[in-house]
């Protein structure tokens, strides 16, 4: 049987049966071939895009942009210096949400939802995460976190993960990036207008959209008469015998078809009503979309979402106020996300990591806020993780120009996620050896 040459498989019938086909073969450039592997995929027989790797595992990255104040997120209420340095914005010890097994540190009171995750054994707190010679520029430090390179050069760390999975090459290496004859991974998905550097590989590029409605051709809104001819022209890849053809025109035709199919699939996925309610904030909206895409069975391995507003130079607030609101949005959204995943039966497949480009200074400034600092905590979430607090809180007396000295290199967290969860080779992806943080319960 050959789907491409089947007389029954005309253009019209493709348009109606397209979604059935899409459900097993979207973005896999399978229309090239009659290889048994590609056929099996199209028929839904193979679920794993790459042999030997468990395709069920999903990583979600939450970026807190602007520099989240780590000291008012995971609060060292047991250290007197904290209250000395933060007379106005410090959170009282009796308000802090205590964490069992953690001595002298606890969560900001607006993060009750995060405390629930901790109590259920689904959250770990990695303390004092940073890197040597910290850079306090948003732009530069964000790039350092995205590239996992303190010079902020090269491709993104997750882009390199994709490169290593699809084409076997890692940091600083060149590899085959124009393969069209082997199955590729479905690209990472980022919710937002710009695709984050972290997801940019040499050969692997993410899909990025603010809302799924934008992940399609905008021209069809201009006149309805354009819709049908557009779809006809962009779905020729299935009917005009481009399989096997290796001109750039053939390649473009196949990719255009893949794009149509993945657009259909993603938009259909996010149109579902979620199983649980999500908070109405920006992060809640994004995680709801991710939850819906996971529920729809997308094969995407990495999702990337962002919550901004953490650059609290003034009027930051303490137990209440602006920063507390952000933390509540973050905690409530993450909690809803895992409730949704649990209702779907997918919670065990999804590990979430959070980070910010830097923490903030120990001492508050004259405007009731905090300026750019250095090390800060990261959170790792999911039922499979080893819960608890990792590492010690950085000293509040042994400071570097008023800033915390980091305890754990952020690349050790990346290494733990890569090695243990994504089952990748972190040395290759990161271009160096970092002692992996123990991420999983059974690592």
- Please report, as ranges, the residues that interact with other proteins according to CB under 8 A: 27, 136-137, 139-140, 143, 151-155, 174, 176-178, 180, 187, 193-195, 200, 202-203, 205-208, 210-211, 213-219, 221-223, 225-226, 229-230, 232-234, 236-237, 240, 245, 247-253, 255-256, 258-259, 262-263, 361, 363, 365, 371-372, 401-402
Residue (221 or 392) nearer to other proteins, CB: 221
Closest contact distance (angstroms) between CB of 321 and other proteins is 22
Residue (250 or 419) nearer to other proteins, CB: 250
Closest contact distance (angstroms) between CB of 385 and other proteins is 30
Distance separating alpha carbons of residues 23 and 352, to the nearest angstrom: 25
* Segment (H or E) for 381: strand 376-381
Residue (116 or 232) nearer to other proteins, CB: 232
Closest contact distance (angstroms) between CB of 258 and other proteins is 5
Joined together, the tokens standing for residue 86 give 């933060």
Closest contact distance (angstroms) between CB of 290 and other proteins is 16
Residue (352 or 364) nearer to other proteins, CB: 364
Residue (108 or 361) nearer to other proteins, CB: 361
Q: Are 57 and 349 in contact (CB under 8 A)?
A: yes
Q: Are 104 and 77 in contact (CB under 8 A)?
A: yes
Residue (83 or 251) nearer to other proteins, CB: 251
Residue (136 or 342) nearer to other proteins, CB: 136
Residue (264 or 332) nearer to other proteins, CB: 264
Closest contact distance (angstroms) between CB of 175 and other proteins is 9
Closest contact distance (angstroms) between CB of 155 and other proteins is 6
Residue (99 or 290) nearer to other proteins, CB: 290
Neighbour count for residue 259 (Cβ, 10 Å): 18
294 Cβ contact partners less than 8 Å away, ≥ 6 residues apart: 58, 303, 341, 344, 346, 349, 350
Instruction: Give SS3 for 311.
Output: coil
289 Cβ contact partners less than 8 Å away, ≥ 6 residues apart: 191, 211, 212, 270
Closest contact distance (angstroms) between CB of 153 and other proteins is 6
Closest contact distance (angstroms) between CB of 167 and other proteins is 12
Closest contact distance (angstroms) between CB of 137 and other proteins is 5
Closest contact distance (angstroms) between CB of 388 and other proteins is 34
Residue (219 or 315) nearer to other proteins, CB: 219
């Amino acid at each position: 049987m050959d789907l491409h040459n089947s007389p029954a498989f005309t253009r019209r019938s493709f348009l109606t049966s397209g979604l059935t086909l899409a459900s097993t073969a979207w973005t896999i450039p399978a229309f090239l071939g009659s290889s048994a592997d590609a056929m099996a995929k199209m028929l839904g027989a193979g679920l794993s895009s790459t042999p030997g790797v468990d395709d069920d595992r999903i990583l979600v990255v939450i970026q807190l942009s602007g520099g989240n104040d780590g000291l008012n997120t995971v609060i060292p209420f047991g250290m007197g210096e904290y209250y000395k340095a933060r007379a106005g914005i410090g959170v009282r010890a009796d308000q802090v949400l205590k964490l069992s097994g953690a001595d002298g540190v606890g969560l900001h009171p607006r993060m009750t939802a995060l405390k629930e995750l901790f109590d259920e054994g689904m959250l770990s707190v990695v303390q004092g995460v940073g890197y040597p010679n910290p850079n306090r520029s948003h732009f530069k430090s964000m790039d350092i976190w995205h590239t996992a390179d303190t010079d902020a050069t090269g491709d993104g760390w997750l882009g390199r993960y994709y490169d290593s999975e699809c084409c076997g090459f890692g940091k600083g290496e060149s590899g085959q990036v124009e393969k069209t004859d082997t199955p590729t991974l479905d690209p990472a998905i980022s919710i937002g207008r710009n695709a984050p550097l972290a997801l940019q590989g040499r050969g692997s590029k993410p899909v990025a959209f603010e809302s799924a409605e934008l992940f399609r051709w905008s021209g069809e809104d201009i006149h309805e008469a354009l819709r049908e001819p557009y779809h006809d022209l962009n779905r020729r890849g299935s009917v005009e015998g481009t399989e096997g053809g290796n001109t750039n025109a053939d390649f473009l035709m196949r990719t255009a078809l893949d794009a149509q199919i993945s657009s259909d699939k993603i938009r259909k996925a996010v149109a579902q009503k979620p199983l649980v309610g999500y908070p109405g904030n920006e992060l809640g909206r994004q995680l709801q979309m991710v939850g819906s895409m996971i529920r729809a069975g997308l094969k995407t391995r990495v999702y990337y979402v962002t919550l901004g507003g953490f650059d609290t130079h003034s009027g930051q607030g303490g137990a209440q106020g602006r920063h507390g609101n952000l933390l509540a949005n973050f905690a409530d959204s993450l909690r809803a996300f895992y409730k949704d995943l649990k209702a779907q039966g997918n919670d065990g497949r999804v590990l979430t990591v959070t980070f910010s480009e830097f923490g903030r200074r120990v001492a508050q400034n004259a405007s009731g806020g905090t300026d750019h600092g250095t090390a800060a905590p990261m959170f790792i979430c999911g039922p499979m993780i080893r819960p608890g607090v990792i590492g010690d809180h950085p000293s509040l007396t042994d400071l570097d120009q008023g800033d915390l000295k980091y305890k754990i290199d952020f690349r050790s967290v990346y290494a733990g996620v890569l090695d243990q969860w994504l089952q990748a080779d972190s040395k290759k992806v990161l271009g160096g050896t970092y002692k992996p943080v123990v991420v999983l319960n059974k690592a």
